[in-house]
Structure 1
Amino acid sequence: MPPVSPDDLSMPSTPTRQWVVLAGLALGVTVTNGFARFAYGLMLPAMKSEMGWNYAQAGWLNTANAIGYIAGAILTMLLIRHISPARLFAFGLITTTIALLATGLNAALWWQTLWRILAGIFGAMSFSTAGALAAGLFQGDPRRNALAIAILFGSGGGLGIVLTGATLPLMLDRFGPASWPMGWILIGIASLSFLPLGLWAALQMRPPAQSQTKATPLPLRRILPEMAGYAGFGLGYIVYLTFLSAWMTEQAAGAGFIALVWVILGLSICVSPLVWRPVLMRFNSGLPLALILSGIAIGSALPVVLPSGSALLISAVVFGLSVFMAPGAVTNFTRQNLPPESWASAISLFTVVFAVAQTLGPYGAGLVGDLFNNIGISLLAAAGLLLAGAILALLQKPL
């Protein structure tokens, strides 16, 4: 979605109030990213077992969510010219919460597909406007402004994975696979509890109508390696988050260990902005994206190449430290290499490339898992795609 200039946003007056606003926006990201997009990976083994799905059917539900995300991203691009980011964020947050609650009400595949798509549409509206709102914080302090945006995406999404990872595997183990609807209801209730602060935070930011500055044409051929690398990210990263729990369950991992791995994964995501910030600030080529994709690839392959408890824990750390930084690398590349009037169109283009690739990943990985009767092969295939994306990103030179 086209970013909004921080200068176009009225912001809360005191630093303390701005940090509270950031906390509310981050809780919104917890709902739309940590819960709506990634909690399904924890629920998948129980749902697959209870409904007798194959891997392709199980992967389809995350593909359905990604299809909704594409529609939501495009819809947001159209609506944001007429409706403020604050209202879109609030609407998306409320409707995503409703979608999460509804997911636990019916086991039929068509019902699950419907609400996964709607969670993608509504979640994209809220998630893609959250950054625009956070950009209006700490306008006179570039360091704090950058930190606020990093915290928004890293800690917001990471918190959702920590909370679901710490509770869902243990709940499913205690009450059995048939209790998966209860898991979605609990996630919906948690989302309801985050609504007041999230909605309040959005209402503190009151942007006027967006400026219609005409962007210069993008140098598409010169940024092709970066786009190809980002497509590799979309194809590969989602496989790990969709099928990790299913693979661990097949390896007879206990519920407590599955919960531990996901909590470590979420905590690593939370601290990842601090790890990668020096790299993102120093290089304006495709190198940061290539390094990040290599980290995600290593994290994806480790559990299969070295099937042990320690390797899984290391995998969660490496993957978590890298996965949410790929969008930061692309945003950083855009801001360092293109004029400000082109940032909106460039980031929108990268978003579409990512969203389309992300749509293909889960279903394709499920087909591979069914073909070999081993979802571990899909994790290795995802690692291969991520490494291919890293090699392509390395070809990207500063403009």
Structure 2
Amino acid sequence: MMSKDATAWLVVAGLSLGPAVSNGLSRFSYGLILPAMQADLSWSFTEAGWLNTANAVGYLLGAVSTLALIDRVGPRRILSIGVAATPVALVGSAVFADLWMQSVFRVAAGIAGAGIFISGGAMAATLFRGEPTRNALAISLYFGGGGLGMIASGAVLPVLFDRYGVGAWPTAWLILAGLSALAVWPALRAARECPEPARVHFLVAQRLPVMRMIPAVLGYFLFAVGYIVYLTFLVALMHEGATRAGLIAACWTLLGLGVIAAPFAWRDVVARSAGGGPLALACLATGAATLLPIGLPGSVPALVASVVIFGLSFFIAPTAVTSFARKNLDQSAWGRAVGMFTAVFALGQILGPVLAGSVSDLTGSVAHGMGAAGLVLITGAALAALQCPLATRPIVEGA
């Protein structure tokens, strides 16, 4: 019979398929499809960026809805609905070429994705309570599931477009839908096995001390503005430099591998800090990674270093704010705190792609939009570093 610890880690693995679907396949993989859709449908950078903005609008709607419902219906039900709905939304993206119909399905995918991300994060935070290092690792592994989706899409989509051309973008969306469908059953089973956070009525839940969380909130907002630009336009930047499909596939796979490896690299940093340090470091690392290929254009080593650093860093930001909530707030407020951070995150993602796309259209190069995103990320690092612990006796390793 399987030990309790082994069962808990299997639950973490199953829950991590939620971010694999909501982030790795549904959201980030659009960066691989964007150049093909832009070329085949004659979109500007602003229009291409708009689809990720539409996804972020849905993410905001989903975050607000989840924040309102999580204490009433429970995170397990919200995660289950989101995981089941995402493949349907991806099929819709394959069917319609019209920008506004595409937007409808990207909004739907965003709504489902926010529900998955918030509810799964709140559930992962219940595992290994009283063991800060293992708890931090469980949370990190949950969010690191996004890397699985990135590896799967990175291994397939660049080769698809290299062989069949830009007109293959509907097939690409169908492949993502099929991969998402494969994750539905194991994710739902893990959700059934995982304990839920304590549910309380919204009106009697702990009030979030938002004013004392301003540095973390603003830092996370600027992180969202900047990081999504990198993932939206990285492949477009590589296309500007005539990068071959094999290198594109390798870079996207390295991003995904970095996401999976990140929990092991960052677990002690996250476990030992109850303030804004981990978020600040994640912003700084992703900002540097974003600026690296801009400062050294055409350099393959700079590009590879950029994707490795970015992959190892960007999913630590949601891990950091989830851990921050767990260490500084009552358990009854965890879901609401993660919901608030996700709403702020969604606002940043709404602005990032369309603003960077506009800058790229005005300057004639996507590099300028990505450069601006790198500076935004570094500013976010400076703000997040100002966040102090909220609890009188924060929960850190050795406390």
Using structure 2 for the length normalisation, give the TM-score.
Answer: 0.91
> In the alignment, is the contact (CA less than 8 A) between 1:86 and 1:203 conserved in 2?
yes
Secondary structure of the structure 1 residue equivalent to 2:72: coil
Instruction: Name the CA distance, whole Å, in 2 between partners of 1:175 and 1:253.
Output: 17
| Amino acid in the other structure paired with 2:342 | T
Secondary structure of the structure 1 residue equivalent to 2:73: coil
> In the alignment, is the contact (CA less than 8 A) between 2:67 and 2:340 conserved in 1?
no
Q: Identify the match of residue 184 of structure 1 among 170, 173, 177.
A: 173
**Aligned ranges 1:223-234 → 2 under 5 Å:** 223-234=213-224
* Residues 137, 398 of structure 1: alpha-carbon distance in 2 compared, 3 angstrom cutoff: closer
- Which residue in 2 is equivalent to 1:163? 152
| Amino acid in the other structure paired with 1:319 | F
> What's the CA shift for 1:391?
1.5
Instruction: Name the CA distance, whole Å, in 2 between partners of 1:158 and 1:392.
Output: 27
Are 2:75 and 1:97 aligned? no
- Which residue in 1 is equivalent to 2:239? 249
| Amino acid in the other structure paired with 2:168 | S
- Which residue in 2 is equivalent to 1:271? 261
Instruction: Name the CA distance, whole Å, in 1 between partners of 2:125 and 2:366.
Output: 40
Instruction: Name the CA distance, whole Å, in 2 between partners of 1:356 and 1:316.
Output: 25
Instruction: Name the CA distance, whole Å, in 2 between partners of 1:188 and 1:218.
Output: 37
Instruction: Name the CA distance, whole Å, in 2 between partners of 1:28 and 1:76.
Output: 15
| Amino acid in the other structure paired with 2:164 | F
Are 2:320 and 1:329 aligned? yes
Deviations 1:8-45 (A, max 9, x none): xxxx9744433333322222221111111101000000
> What's the CA shift for 1:292?
1.4
- Which residue in 1 is equivalent to 2:395? none
- Which residue in 2 is equivalent to 1:106? 96
Deviations 1:273-299 (A, max 9, x none): 111122223333333222211100011
What number of residue pairs does the alignment pair up? 387
- Which residue in 2 is equivalent to 1:379? 370
Which blocks of at least 5 consecutive residues in structure 2 are unaligned?
391-399
Q: Identify the match of residue 81 of structure 1 among 55, 71, 95.
A: 71
Instruction: Name the CA distance, whole Å, in 2 between partners of 1:283 and 1:145.
Output: 13
> In the alignment, is the contact (CA less than 8 A) between 1:62 and 1:242 conserved in 2?
yes
Instruction: Name the CA distance, whole Å, in 1 between partners of 2:72 and 2:36.
Output: 43
> In the alignment, is the contact (CA less than 8 A) between 1:68 and 1:121 conserved in 2?
yes
> In the alignment, is the contact (CA less than 8 A) between 1:60 and 1:362 conserved in 2?
yes
Secondary structure of the structure 2 residue equivalent to 1:82: helix
Instruction: Name the CA distance, whole Å, in 2 between partners of 1:336 and 1:277.
Output: 15
Instruction: Name the CA distance, whole Å, in 2 between partners of 1:94 and 1:391.
Output: 39
* Residues 178, 279 of structure 1: alpha-carbon distance in 2 compared, 3 angstrom cutoff: same
Q: Identify the match of residue 355 of structure 2 among 353, 359, 364.
A: 364
Deviations 1:31-66 (A, max 9, x none): 111111101000000000000000000000000000
- Which residue in 2 is equivalent to 1:4? none
Instruction: Name the CA distance, whole Å, in 1 between partners of 2:198 and 2:128.
Output: 21
* Residues 283, 152 of structure 1: alpha-carbon distance in 2 compared, 3 angstrom cutoff: closer
| Amino acid in the other structure paired with 1:271 | A
| Amino acid in the other structure paired with 1:187 | L
> What's the CA shift for 1:215?
4.4
| Amino acid in the other structure paired with 1:238 | I
Q: Identify the match of residue 30 of structure 2 among 40, 45, 60.
A: 40
| Amino acid in the other structure paired with 1:235 | V
* Residues 247, 110 of structure 1: alpha-carbon distance in 2 compared, 3 angstrom cutoff: same
Instruction: Name the CA distance, whole Å, in 2 between partners of 1:141 and 1:375.
Output: 45
- 4+ residue segments displaced more than 6 Å: none
> In the alignment, is the contact (CA less than 8 A) between 1:82 and 1:209 conserved in 2?
no
Identical-residue share of aligned pairs (%): 47
> In the alignment, is the contact (CA less than 8 A) between 1:84 and 1:206 conserved in 2?
no
- Which residue in 2 is equivalent to 1:8? none
> What's the CA shift for 1:205?
3.8
Using structure 1 for the length normalisation, give the TM-score.
Answer: 0.91
| Amino acid in the other structure paired with 1:112 | Q
Instruction: Name the CA distance, whole Å, in 2 between partners of 1:144 and 1:368.
Output: 43
> What's the CA shift for 1:211?
2.3
> In the alignment, is the contact (CA less than 8 A) between 2:82 and 2:115 conserved in 1?
yes
> What's the CA shift for 1:148?
2.1
Instruction: Name the CA distance, whole Å, in 2 between partners of 1:103 and 1:359.
Output: 19
- Which residue in 2 is equivalent to 1:22? 12
Are 2:374 and 1:390 aligned? no
* Residues 123, 351 of structure 1: alpha-carbon distance in 2 compared, 3 angstrom cutoff: closer
* Residues 289, 207 of structure 1: alpha-carbon distance in 2 compared, 3 angstrom cutoff: closer
Which blocks of at least 5 consecutive residues in structure 1 are unaligned?
1-11
Secondary structure of the structure 2 residue equivalent to 1:334: helix
> What's the CA shift for 1:122?
1.3
